[in-house]
DNA sequence: ATGGGCCGCCC
DNA sequence: GTACGGGCGGCCCATC
């Protein structure tokens, strides 16, 4: 039965007083942007649905209900939770049918709309939702039809949840308690609030500082384009790419008639000079640094990338109400990692000089600091823990540098010499080869790829890998076992206690390319996904700890968490934060210690 | 307009 | 002939 509530909400509170679980949804007057509001708020169970007209009713009275230990079922809760916060309401004990469905389908290719509520309603509850009504809902248009639609939206959530949990329990991703953070389901439901908080809080971008970096990029870009023009117009070999350009005010001048953003045109120019150049990628160009034009093109590529991907367009993401940048998180990728977009705050430059300058433009408010923590060598520690290789385990236990230790063994050299150049490639140091190897093996890197990456012969690469695995046989066996498991069982899990599953299609019927990909993803998933589990648990610990404190969660990048905190408590918080992150790590790493690098800064540092 | 391919930024 | 895991996104260019 549907109840339309447009006066007061005691009826709702009374109804749910002795219920353990309720389903919630909201209809808003648009996407979340700090100006929009909730129009209708629906609460219900299988028998009764209450549709509250938020234009007329003060929903603050629902505070105790939302903070009670009753389970609140949502579909895509992050969306509604942010709106509730905007209306001054907090919430906990949420079950999210979208997150649950993602857990049940990680790794599977699914058609568009697969995770939509109407699909779930049909699949799990044989219910029908008429989504065409949604577009007609607005502040001035609440009628019988929209109320019916709004009520329907919550009607099936209970059945969906019941059946999802059955499946998740069978797969070991839940024990039936959807809030238990020792299970994947609980991990996701709980950390959802942290992701909602990071979206809600956003990060401040210092516009003036950022503009200065863009100006610097522009200067470099102008210079390098001038140089490219000079080369094209003065070297006879490029004559055909040169044209005269004349405007009304200046005399004719020779310029390059090439769009340097076009890989096809770029390659054409380069091959005209040297037909052995295969592509315009940075890796390929590195081999042809003897040509001036190649050096200039590499510079051009670098600056135009920064300009096009991270230039003025970033300003469009500054919200006019909060004056901050609010990214959107997608909480469950195939491995359990998180992505974000609009903008993608996980790909803000950090590595190069100018990249570092761009990242430093993300700053705290006046009187605040940014306190960030990251898990040092997280994936390598996970490999150590679960391979139980003594070299790896002891390196971390003794606080030694794993790359150097392994390097000495792989190349039979003294540990003092790991930073000397290799004989087979003088511009690369031993330790750098080892680093490529250590990270690459977690991805199932082949000797061919290693050979290409550091530009050595395939035979040399093969023998390096062989010697490496001879030194650490348990790591080799560990990775092999993971690869085989994915192939044989069609699923692979992250380490205990989580066991987050990634599903694969049938190995036998895959083509060779796909077979290789399944094997490599099987090796990688427990490592990458284990890292993701750990970071999500840390987010939960932090979210719970900072509740009622003036500390804000603002960002996360896989093995890194950023917070914004008043000056006076920054140092103290940094200590506590690394303690919380270590606590989370200790739930997964039982034998290998974790190191959390925590820093207090006036900007987002890396 | 749309989508695939290439390329490059992040961990 | 493919073979480095997980992403997002800008640009070019062919196609509709």
Kindly report which amino acid residue has its CA closest to the C1' atom of nucleotide C8.
A344
CB A307 within 7 Å, strand B: no
CA distances, A439 to each of A112, A317, A457, A459 (Å): 34, 34, 20, 20
Helix pair angle (A263-273, A292-310), 10° resolution: 170
Tell me, what's the pLDDT at A176? 97
CB A106 within 7 Å, strand C: no
Give me chain A's average pLDDT, please.
Answer: 93
pLDDT above 90 for A266:
no
Q: Which residue has the higher pLDDT, A283 or A569?
A: A569
Q: What is the mean pLDDT of residues A289-310?
A: 92
Q: What is the mean pLDDT of residues A239-257?
A: 78
Q: What is the mean pLDDT of residues A206-217?
A: 96
pLDDT 10s digits, A304-355: 999 999 999 999 999 999 999 999 999 999 999 999 999 999 999 999 999 9
What's the distance, CA A10 to chain centroid?
Answer: 42
CB A280 within 7 Å, strand B: yes
Distance CA A395, CA A398 (A): 5
CB-contacted nucleotides of strand C (7 Å)? 1-13
Q: Is A43 helix (H, G, I), strand (E, B) or coil?
A: strand
Helix pair angle (A430-441, A402-411), 10° resolution: 110
Three-state SS for A72-117 is: EEECCHHHHHHHHHHCCCCCCCEEEHHHHHHHCCCCCCCCCCCCCH
Kindly report which amino acid residue has its CA closest to the C1' atom of nucleotide C1.
A513
pLDDT above 80 for A143:
no
Lowest mean pLDDT among A87-101, A102-116, A246-260, A264-278: A246-260
CB A531 within 7 Å, strand C: no
pLDDT above 80 for A140:
no
Burial-class residue A596 by CB neighbours within 10 Å (0-12, 13-18, 19+): buried
Cα Dmax for chain A: 87
Distance CA A478, CA A475 (A): 5
Backbone angles phi, psi at A273, to 5 degrees: -90, -40
pLDDT 10s digits, A417-443: 999 998 888 888 999 999 999 998 888
Per-residue confidence band for A134, with pLDDT thresholds at 50, 70 and 90: low
Tell me, what's the pLDDT at A154? 87
Tell me, what's the pLDDT at A218? 94
DSSP secondary structure letter of residue A288: G
Q: What angle do CA A45, A48, A52 make, to 5 degrees?
A: 95
Tell me, what's the pLDDT at A132? 64
pLDDT 10s digits, A86-128: 999 999 999 999 999 999 999 999 988 899 999 999 999 988 7
How distant is C1' of B1 from CA of A65, in Å?
Answer: 47
Distance CA A332, CA A525 (A): 13
pLDDT above 70 for A136:
no
pTM of the model: 0.95
pLDDT 10s digits, A570-606: 999 999 999 999 999 999 999 999 999 999 999 999 8
Q: What is the mean pLDDT of residues A359-363?
A: 96
Distance CA A229, CA A225 (A): 6
Tell me, what's the pLDDT at A428? 86
CB-contacted nucleotides of strand B (7 Å)? 5-11
CB A445 within 7 Å, strand C: yes
Q: What is the mean pLDDT of residues A190-196?
A: 98
pLDDT above 90 for A242:
no
How distant is C1' of C15 from CA of A138, in Å?
Answer: 38
Nucleotide with smallest C1' distance to residue A335 CA: C6
Q: What is the mean pLDDT of residues A249-258?
A: 78
């Amino acid at each position: 039965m549907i109840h339309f509530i447009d006066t007061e909400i005691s009826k709702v509170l009374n109804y749910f007083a002795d219920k353990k679980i309720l389903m919630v949804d909201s209809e808003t007057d648009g996407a979340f942007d700090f100006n929009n509001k909730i129009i209708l708020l629906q609460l219900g169970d299988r028998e009764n649905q209450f549709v509250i007209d938020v234009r007329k009713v003060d929903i603050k009275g629902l505070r105790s209900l939302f903070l009670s230990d009753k389970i609140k079922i949502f579909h895509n809760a992050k969306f509604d939770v942010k709106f509730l916060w905007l209306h001054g309401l907090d919430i906990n004990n949420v079950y999210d049918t979208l997150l649950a469905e993602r857990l049940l389908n990680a790794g599977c290719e699914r058609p568009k709309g697969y995770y939509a509520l109407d699909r779930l309603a049909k699949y799990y509850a044989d219910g029908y939702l008429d989504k065409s009504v949604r577009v007609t809902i607005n502040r001035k248009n609440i009628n019988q039809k929209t109320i019916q639609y709004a009520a329907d939206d919550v009607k099936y959530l209970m059945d969906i949840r019941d059946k999802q949990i059955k499946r998740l329990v069978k797969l070991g991703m839940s024990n039936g308690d959807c809030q238990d953070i020792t299970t994947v389901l609980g991990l996701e439901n709980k950390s959802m609030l942290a992701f909602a908080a990071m979206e809600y809080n956003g990060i401040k971008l210092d516009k003036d500082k950022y503009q200065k970096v863009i100006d610097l990029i522009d200067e470099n870009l102008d210079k390098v384009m001038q140089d490219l023009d000079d080369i094209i117009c003065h070297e006879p070999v490029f004559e055909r790419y040169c044209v005269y350009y004349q405007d009304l005010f200046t005399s004719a001048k020779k310029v390059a008639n090439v769009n340097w953003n076009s890989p096809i045109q770029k390659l054409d120019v380069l091959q005209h000079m040297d037909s052995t150049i295969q592509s315009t990628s940075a890796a390929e160009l590195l081999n042809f640094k003897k040509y001036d034009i190649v050096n200039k093109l590499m510079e051009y590529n670098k600056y135009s990338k920064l300009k096009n991907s991270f230039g003025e367009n970033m300003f469009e993401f500054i919200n006019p109400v909060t004056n901050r940048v609010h990214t959107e998180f997608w909480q469950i990728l195939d491995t359990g990692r998180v992505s974000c977009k609009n903008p993608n705050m996980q790909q803000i430059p950090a590595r190069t000089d100018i990249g570092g300058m761009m990242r430093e433009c993300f700053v705290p408010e006046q009187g605040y600091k940014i306190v960030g923590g990251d898990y040092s060598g997280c994936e390598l520690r996970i490999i150590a823990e679960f391979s139980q290789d003594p070299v790896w385990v002891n390196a971390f236990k003794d606080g030694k540098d794993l790359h150097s230790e392994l390097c000495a063994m792989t190349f039979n050299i003294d540990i003092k010499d790991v930073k000397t150049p290799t004989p087979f490639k003088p511009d690369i140091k031993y330790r750098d080869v080892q680093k490529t190897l250590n990270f690459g093996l977690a991805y199932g890197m082949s000797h061919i790829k290693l050979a290409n990456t550091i530009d050595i012969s395939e035979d040399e690469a093969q023998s390096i890998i062989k010697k490496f695995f001879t030194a650490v046989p348990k790591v080799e066996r560990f990775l092999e076992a993971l690869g085989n498991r994915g192939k044989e069982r069609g699923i692979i899990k992250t380490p205990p206690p989580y066991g987050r599953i990634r599903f694969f299609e049938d190995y036998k019927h895959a083509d060779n390319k796909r077979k290789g990909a399944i094997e490599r993803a099987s090796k990688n998933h427990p490592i990458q996904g284990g890292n993701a589990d750990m970071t999500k648990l840390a987010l939960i610990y932090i979210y719970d700890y900072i509740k009622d404190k003036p500390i804000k969660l603002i960002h996360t990048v896989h093995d890194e968490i950023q917070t914004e905190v008043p000056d006076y408590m920054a140092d103290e918080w940094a200590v506590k934060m690394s303690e919380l992150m270590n606590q989370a790590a200790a739930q997964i790493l039982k034998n290998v210690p974790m190191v959390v690098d925590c820093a207090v800064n006036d900007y987002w540092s890396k």
